[in-house]
Amino acid sequence: MRSYTGKKVLIVGLARSGVAAAALLAQRGALVTANDSKSAAELGEALSPLKGLPVTLRLGCAAMDCLDGQEALVLSPGIPDTAPFVRAARERGIYVLGEIELASQLCEGELVAVTGTNGKTTTTTLTHEIFKAAGRVSHAVGNIGDPFSAAVREGGRGEVFVCECSSFQMETVDTFHPRAAAFLNLTEDHLNRHGTMAEYARLKMRVFENQTAGDFAVFNADDPALSSFPEQVNSHVLLFSRRREVSEGAFVRSGRVVFRQDGQEKDICGTEEIYIPGPHNLENALAAVCLTAPLGVAPEVIADTLRTFRGVEHRIEFVRDVRGVRYINDSKGTNVDSTIRAVQTMNRPTVIILGGSDKHCDFTPLAEEMLRSPFLREAVLIGVTADQIERTLLACGWPKEKIHREKDFPSAVARCQALAQEGWNALLSPACASFDMFHDYEERGRIFKQLVHELK
């Protein structure tokens, strides 16, 4: 554990994670300066957790102007480590790290990590709930919405911290060392920031780089994109598969979830007993088994949680039935593969809302899945990517008369109501980020639910 007592530390970016990092460092005796290009008026209540703390605020100015005299620089995940002021900091010998790296250094509990393109939030939350059911004090943190630093500030020795890790956060790790970590899957995403799939995958693999033989590395054996990765880690590899038995890890046999380790098998539960639906959620459940069973959680505790866990907000979340139409919030569907998984769970005729900000992804696999689906009927397009999605749908053979363009979000929900008939689903699963119209996917999901509740 690194000590920051008496050290001059600059925090750049005062969203939730930056504010939490500043508060944690102030608690641990650091000399903290917090910087954001926004003014105090623009940040508003976001700064309230810092009231009364010994934190110097440098607001409305560039981070480059705050580097003098600093010994460490903590970045919020939205800031790429290639930013000019970050390069300048390194040239001056300033130690650069991210918020989850800082929290992991100051954490006295047991760290479990989850990464991958899709399924991270569900798997993180499910794993957290399993530890809670086992009687452990557990925190779900990281990219899930609750800053890791905030939990460390309040948490203590012996507690469990289940951390959802994005590729952005992995750019600035150093000593980050989870006792168990899972890589769920790998598909095209965030190429607007990382450039290539190879770089995106390299950053994801950093979650394992400090593990040793006594730790656990969990991989999806059904994802061919991950096939070469298990041999690259130094830890004990566990695989999970819903299609075949694996030598070590979790798999399905005759409709039963089984966990195997060191030649010993444990029967967990039947696959039909798992409450959250869809093949992707079966994979998430298997991953959670691999993250909890080797750390001492009993099979009956895992089984009970799998039977009762209801899923997470904004991920294939049922909102309301309006005149026989089920409205479903999948705002967490921020990339093509995530929306494909949502499409595959539909079991009624469906109208889907697609579109958002551009992540430089190819929508062809989604268009092909929509054509294969027996349930996808209509597509409502919004946002910056609407033109690209329409071109892709038409090129793949989707009927032009089943594409509907809308100028804003309320109009898109109203169009869904006009198109959907009794017995249909209306699904928000944009396959895009939200930043063209919203602060984040959570705000997009909340506004969708608000609009649905206002429908007559």
Cα-flanking dihedrals φ and ψ of residue 156, to 5°? -150, -175
Distance CA 324, CA 154 (A): 46
Question: Does residue 399 surpass a pLDDT of 90?
Answer: yes
Binned at pLDDT 50, 70 and 90, residue 190 comes out as low
Distance CA 152, CA 155 (A): 5
Distance CA 1, CA 20 (A): 18
Q: Average pLDDT for residues 369-379, to the nearest whole number?
A: 97
Return the closest-CA partner of residue 222 out of 242, 204, 238.
Answer: 242
Q: Average pLDDT for residues 187-200, to the nearest whole number?
A: 78
> In this structure, how many other beta carbons lie within 10 angstroms of the beta carbon of residue 146?
17
Binned at pLDDT 50, 70 and 90, residue 145 comes out as low
CA 237 to each of CA 177, 246, 248: distance values in angstroms, whole numbers, following the listed order: 15, 11, 7
Question: Does residue 182 surpass a pLDDT of 90?
Answer: yes
User: For residue 348, what is the DSSP state?
Assistant: S
Domain 317-454 CATH assignment equals 3.90.190.20: yes
User: For residue 229, what is the DSSP state?
Assistant: S
pLDDT for the residue numbered 4: 97
Binned at pLDDT 50, 70 and 90, residue 319 comes out as very high
Binned at pLDDT 50, 70 and 90, residue 17 comes out as very high
Return the closest-CA partner of residue 117 out of 182, 194, 187, 165.
Answer: 187
215: left (phi over 0), alpha (psi -120 to 50) or beta: beta
pLDDT for the residue numbered 191: 65
Q: 55-88, pLDDT tens digit by residue?
A: 999 999 999 999 999 999 999 888 888 899 999 9
Cα-flanking dihedrals φ and ψ of residue 160, to 5°? -110, 135
User: For residue 262, what is the DSSP state?
Assistant: T
- 8-100 and 317-454 agree in CATH topology: no
pLDDT for the residue numbered 146: 81
The token pair at 68 is 């003098």
Question: Does residue 453 surpass a pLDDT of 80?
Answer: yes
From 21-25, 226-230, 273-277, the region with the lowest mean pLDDT:
273-277
Query: Is 114 within 8 Å of 287 (Cβ atoms)?
Result: yes
User: For residue 276, what is the DSSP state?
Assistant: S
Question: Does residue 1 surpass a pLDDT of 60?
Answer: no
3-state secondary structure of 50: helix
| N-to-C CA span, the chain | 56
Domain boundaries, the chain: 8-100, 107-308, 317-454
pLDDT for the residue numbered 63: 97
Distance CA 46, CA 40 (A): 9
Give the bridge partners for 34, in sequence order: 11, 57
Which CATH number is associated with domain 8-100? 3.40.50.720
The token pair at 164 is 């959802």
The token pair at 182 is 């899972």
CA 5 to each of CA 31, 89, 443: distance values in angstroms, whole numbers, following the listed order: 8, 20, 37
Return the closest-CA partner of residue 184 out of 272, 108, 280.
Answer: 280
Q: Which residues contact 114 (CB under 8 A, 6 or more apart)?
A: 120, 123, 124, 127, 162, 163, 164, 165, 181, 182, 184, 287, 291
Binned at pLDDT 50, 70 and 90, residue 224 comes out as very high
From 125-129, 143-147, 221-225, 258-262, the region with the lowest mean pLDDT:
143-147
Q: Average pLDDT for residues 405-431, to the nearest whole number?
A: 97
Q: Average pLDDT for residues 294-309, to the nearest whole number?
A: 98
Q: Average pLDDT for residues 354-364, to the nearest whole number?
A: 92
Domain 107-308 CATH assignment equals 3.40.1190.10: yes
Distance CA 101, CA 95 (A): 12
Return the closest-CA partner of residue 37 out of 5, 4, 6, 78.
Answer: 78
